[in-house]
Chains A and B, each alone.
Chain A
Amino acid sequence: MSDKAVQEKKAEKIDFGSDQDVRWCPGCGDYAILAQMKRVLPDLGIPREKTVFISGIGCSSRFPYYLNTYGFHTIHGRAPTLATGIKLANPDLSVWLITGDGDGLSIGGNHLMHLFRRNLNINVVLFNNQIYGLTKGQFSPTSPVGKVTKSTPYGSLSNPFNPVTMAISASASFVARTIDRDTKHMAEIFRRAVEHTGCSFVEVYQNCNIFNDGIYKHLTDSETKLDNVLYLEDGQPLIYGKEKDKGLQLNGFNFEKKEIQSENDVSGLHVHDENDPNPGYAFLLSKLSDTKGFPAPVGVFRKVESTPYEIKFHDQIRMVTEQKGKGDLKKLFLTSDTWKVE
């Protein structure tokens, strides 16, 4: 292919954007997520008409309006229920579920948990800004204890959820985390989420510059970022730090930090294994972001193979149909003792 032809091919790349004006606050982390989604979608080879975005309520849930796919902006917390129905009705559709920390973990926590346990092949992206934005600033289930918000003027009292811990505990078969400012990483994680057959959960650390600005600053500023973020790579030891000079090793159920001064120091470090069938390690890993003095891991925490629910669902229908033969209405009407009146 000539250079020109390649250029034309790129220009032809399908635009997944819709004609609607984007109405998030200027500077919102949601823009970056939308931009990466628009970048990733054309590369997946899935046509727009086979792609469906489902959302609940909240700032994040406006997402479907801005994409030229099929979309359903549903009600607060209930997006997983509609996504389930859509995927079961037509497993060929590529279904994305966009939610937030309030929508997905508070009002819709139950549904999300069941979506994970059933393992439908749906990609869940949870924008975690640790605040209720659309209702103008109340604490959310991911806000830290002591958080002062409009509804907690003297500080929040409730312990926060860690979305990744929750997803692992509820048996999600793919669990990952990324950060709004780390666009390349985000695009890569979205791609991997789509590639995974089963329920994929991606937490995005997302900055709300109006009601909760700067909560992830230490994870995004170039000065501090590398000392606070642990990039997970499958098959690689857990190493982080600007100079790649810090590592993590497991001692029983606890991670310990280890300074790396020579190549030999790497040997005792824990090697990341996404596919570990035992969720224990991924669980411990997920708790690092809640532990003072430890880095926040990003990347794929866990990825295990498990037949998606919709496949089992339709296999069972096929099996029963083969055993009983295709249903005959006339016979169904007569499945009971009948009598004839002349």
Chain B
Amino acid sequence: MVKKSTKELERVTIRFAGDSGDGMQLTGNQFTRTTALSMNDLSTLPDFPAEIRAPAGSVYGVSGFQIHFSSDEVHTPGDKADVLIAMNPAALKASLKYIENNAVIILNKDAFTPRNLRLAGYEEDPTQNGLLKGYQVYSIEISRLTQDALTDIELSHKEKERCKNFFALGIVYWLYTRNMDPTIEWIKKKFAKRPIWLDANTKALRAGRNFAEATEQFRTAYKVTKAKIKPGIYRQITGNEALVIGLIAAGEKAGRNIFLGSYPITPASEILQMMAVHKNFGVRTFQAEDEMAAIGSALGASFAGDIGVTATSGPGMALKSEFLGLAVMTELPLVICDIQRAGPSTGMPTKTEQSDLNQVLYGRSGEAPLAVIAAKSPADCFHAVYEAVRIATMFMTPVVVLSDVYLANGAEPWRIPDESKLPPIDIRFAKPEKEFAPYLRDEYTLARKWAIPGTPELQHRIGGLEKESITGDVSYDPDNHDNMVRLRAEKIQRIRDFVEEPEIYGDGSGDVLIVSWGSTHGTVLTVVEQLRAEGKAVSFYHLRWLSPLPKSLKNYIHNFKKVVVPEINLGQLAKIIRSEFLVDAISFNKVMGLPLRVTELKEAINELLN
């Protein structure tokens, strides 16, 4: 037996990569689950192609999954991986730009055939020609060893080949001294009705671990100890899962049915699929004939007393814009979840971007202000959408929730809230009265009351035509229109009095203030933590509401020598900051379909500090 040692590490980033059909997302998710149960803090980033089954062996068909875990806090899925598991030459080729220069690379040696090398566009075998110099390469016959482990199982050669991801997972479990029980339990449940696969996958997993333990190739196993996290009960959650649970919770708290009208679109389809499962919460889901019908049905449901919700991505948002104007005009509650993806047009459906900010703020005819809230992490999607429902019903307004591909598919531990302590969602319904005035407003919120069809005496007509203040009758009166345009804008501003203001991270003055929004939160926080630890005068203000903008930002924004706005677009928030606060805000932007990297942002801030 080879003598082996165990070494403790503070943080590790692992990337799994293989063909779309190799089960890399499953492998990554299993490792994530086990890591979470081992009480590390973590963040993940699945990175897969839009093609369902791209030709095997091609670079564009590579599916990747990155996980960053630590005994300390984790805010991002990691810039570059310390460890790469590459199931074929294409996976190696596609992943080299995402890994550290001295990364550990575990390869499936059997997949490095002349045919696969050619498919990946390698003229020579990269494991032989020095291309991988500097990396710590472990070339392992993963396919053959998997076949060997499954000799007594009656599956075809091809079928056994499909178990190789579990063999690879077994190796990684040994390397990071992980308990395999959660995955074995999972396999038992998943393949309960197909015992032969249950047996095969379990054997492959164990064989991988046993191999890693026995082989002379690996001499050290690593251990990442438990993270110090806030006490509570945790679970792992993706952004889309959090959004779904948040909507259901909001419906329960409001005592109204959630009506989700939606049309399939990547990366929002999952929301419709998951909501459809939870009909026993009174959730109503309707797969409409198109994006317009999706939001139209949601708005109709809101008129009739449900909480209308629709979920989509950028292209769908564009199709819905006329309805958003109608929702603004008719002052009905509506929640629109925009899970942003790289655009314009079809763009890159499975890649992340923050480029719908302008669209959701301005993409409508006329003066059509609405509220916009952005989630900052996968788990935060729960709180963002819950808050959106609260404000939509309180202010009788459409509210857009901005998430993105990274948040939707990424996962992190979620501290499960005490459902009894969620903020109340109190709705003001109109009560039967003889002289009902549909556009009479609340003194503080400026919201009109919700008058639901079926309620006696409250019959009224609403629509897209301009309304006379108070009566709601159609009006072309010039003064009335001017007044109504201002009232609708003012109503949105009043939201600021009823939501939590962001807090500045760091000092109230200094050299650099970073202002950010949405999913860049983790990257910016990591950068600011590091820079402050180095003694730099850098502070951080993260926007939760993009409309209305918070009151307190103006108290700080002029106290810094420089204001930097990092975004995954060409400076959409930066322009707003410049125009709203008259500061020379600097836009830091990268639009690669990927989350911003800590190293790049840090470098940029350091340059500004010098």
Q: Which positions in A face B, CB cutoff 8 Å?
A: 18, 20, 47-50, 52, 54, 57, 64-65, 68-75, 78, 80-90, 92-93, 110-111, 114, 313, 316-317, 320-321, 323-327, 329-330, 332-334, 336-342
Residues of chain B lying within 8 A (CB to CB) of residue A57: 464
Q: Does B236 have its Cβ within 8 Å of any Cβ on chain A?
A: yes
> Would you mind naming 7 contact pairs between A and B with Cβ atoms under 8 Å apart?
A52-B304, A52-B453, A86-B301, A110-B289, A114-B293, A317-B284, A339-B234
Q: Does B150 have its Cβ within 8 Å of any Cβ on chain A?
A: no
Q: Does B462 have its Cβ within 8 Å of any Cβ on chain A?
A: yes
Residues of chain B lying within 8 A (CB to CB) of residue A325: 280
Q: Are A72 and B461 in contact (CB under 8 A)?
A: yes
Residues of chain A lying within 8 A (CB to CB) of residue B37: 337, 339
Q: Are B296 and A84 in contact (CB under 8 A)?
A: yes
Q: Which of A50, A81, A89, A114 has the most CB atoms of chain B within a 10 A radius of its CB?
A: A89
Contact of A50 with B464 at beta-carbon distance under 8 Å, contacts A85-B298, A329-B248 already known: no
Residues of chain B lying within 8 A (CB to CB) of residue A313: 284, 286
Q: Are B326 and A74 in contact (CB under 8 A)?
A: yes
Contact of A71 with B292 at beta-carbon distance under 8 Å, contacts A337-B33, A337-B37 already known: no
Q: Are B292 and A81 in contact (CB under 8 A)?
A: yes
For A338, the closest partner residue in chain B by CB is B235
Contact of B300 among A73, A85, A326 (CB under 8 A): A85
Q: Are B453 and A334 in contact (CB under 8 A)?
A: no
Q: Are A90 and B419 in contact (CB under 8 A)?
A: no
Contact of A72 among B281, B294, B462 (CB under 8 A): B462
Contact of A327 with B281 at beta-carbon distance under 8 Å, contacts A81-B288, A85-B297, A89-B306 already known: yes
Which one, B68-76, B225-233, B366-374, B600-608, is touching chain A? B225-233
Give the distance in Å from the alpha carbon of A320 to the alpha carbon of B465 in the complex: 41
Give, as a whole number of angstroms, the nearest-CB distance from B398 to chain A: 14
Give the distance in Å from the alpha carbon of A324 to the alpha carbon of B281 in the complex: 10
Contact of A74 with B464 at beta-carbon distance under 8 Å, contacts A49-B455, A93-B304, A338-B416 already known: yes
Q: 0/1 per residue, B451-481, Cβ < 8 Å to A?
A: 0011111111111110000000110000000
- 15 further contact pairs, Cβ within 8 A, besides A71-B462, A85-B306, A320-B279: A49-B454, A49-B455, A49-B457, A49-B458, A52-B304, A70-B459, A72-B300, A81-B294, A85-B259, A86-B453, A89-B259, A89-B300, A90-B454, A92-B454, A327-B280
For B244, the closest partner residue in chain A by CB is A332
Give, as a whole number of angstroms, the nearest-CB distance from A76 to chain B: 8
Give the distance in Å from the alpha carbon of A47 to the alpha carbon of B281 in the complex: 31
Give the distance in Å from the alpha carbon of A240 to the alpha carbon of B231 in the complex: 84
Contact of A93 with B326 at beta-carbon distance under 8 Å, contacts A81-B288, A320-B279, A338-B234 already known: no
Count, chain B residues at interface, CB 8 A = 70
For B186, the closest partner residue in chain A by CB is A337
Residues of chain B lying within 8 A (CB to CB) of residue A340: 232-234
Task: Mark out the residues of chain B between 301 and 356 whose CB falls within 8 Å of any chain A CB in the assembled complex.
Answer: 301-306, 308, 322-323, 325-326, 330
Q: Are A326 and B289 in contact (CB under 8 A)?
A: no
Q: Are B323 and A78 in contact (CB under 8 A)?
A: yes
Give the distance in Å from the alpha carbon of A78 to the alpha carbon of B279 in the complex: 27
Q: Which of B288, B297, B306, B455 has the most CB atoms of chain A within a 10 A radius of its CB?
A: B297
Give, as a whole number of angstroms, the nearest-CB distance from B1 to chain A: 33
Q: 0/1 per residue, B262-302, Cβ < 8 Å to A?
A: 00000000000000001111101010111011111111111
Give, as a whole number of angstroms, the nearest-CB distance from B491 to chain A: 21
Q: Are B453 and A70 in contact (CB under 8 A)?
A: yes
Give the distance in Å from the alpha carbon of A329 to the alpha carbon of B416 in the complex: 11
Q: Does B400 have its Cβ within 8 Å of any Cβ on chain A?
A: no
Q: Which of A20, A321, A325, A339 has the most CB atoms of chain B within a 10 A radius of its CB?
A: A339
For B413, the closest partner residue in chain A by CB is A339
Residues of chain A lying within 8 A (CB to CB) of residue B245: 332-333
Q: Are B473 and A20 in contact (CB under 8 A)?
A: yes
The 8 A-B residue pairs whose C-beta atoms are closest, nearest first, are A81-B296, A85-B300, A73-B463, A327-B281, A82-B300, A85-B297, A71-B461, A89-B304
Give the distance in Å from the alpha carbon of A78 to the alpha carbon of B304 in the complex: 17
Give, as a whole number of angstroms, the nearest-CB distance from A100 to chain B: 16
Give the distance in Å from the alpha carbon of A20 to the alpha carbon of B248 in the complex: 41
Give, as a whole number of angstroms, the nearest-CB distance from B602 to chain A: 29
Contact of B461 among A18, A80, A83, A337 (CB under 8 A): A18
Q: Does B110 have its Cβ within 8 Å of any Cβ on chain A?
A: no
Give the distance in Å from the alpha carbon of A71 to the alpha carbon of B453 in the complex: 9
Residues of chain B lying within 8 A (CB to CB) of residue A111: 289, 292-293, 296
Q: Are B248 and A71 in contact (CB under 8 A)?
A: no
Give, as a whole number of angstroms, the nearest-CB distance from B480 to chain A: 16
Q: Are B280 and A338 in contact (CB under 8 A)?
A: no
Q: Does B134 have its Cβ within 8 Å of any Cβ on chain A?
A: no
Give the distance in Å from the alpha carbon of A27 to the alpha carbon of B293 in the complex: 35
Q: Are A334 and B461 in contact (CB under 8 A)?
A: no
Q: Does B39 have its Cβ within 8 Å of any Cβ on chain A?
A: yes
Residues of chain A lying within 8 A (CB to CB) of residue B235: 333-334, 336-339
Give the distance in Å from the alpha carbon of A72 to the alpha carbon of B329 in the complex: 12
Give the distance in Å from the alpha carbon of A54 to the alpha carbon of B461 in the complex: 9
Residues of chain A lying within 8 A (CB to CB) of residue B308: 85
Give the distance in Å from the alpha carbon of A241 to the alpha carbon of B261 in the complex: 50
Residues of chain A lying within 8 A (CB to CB) of residue B454: 49-50, 90, 92-93
For A54, the closest partner residue in chain B by CB is B300
Give, as a whole number of angstroms, the nearest-CB distance from B342 to chain A: 28
Q: Are B459 and A88 in contact (CB under 8 A)?
A: no
Give, as a whole number of angstroms, the nearest-CB distance from B295 to chain A: 8
Residues of chain A lying within 8 A (CB to CB) of residue B288: 81, 84, 114
Q: Does B255 have its Cβ within 8 Å of any Cβ on chain A?
A: no
Give the distance in Å from the alpha carbon of A91 to the alpha carbon of B259 in the complex: 14
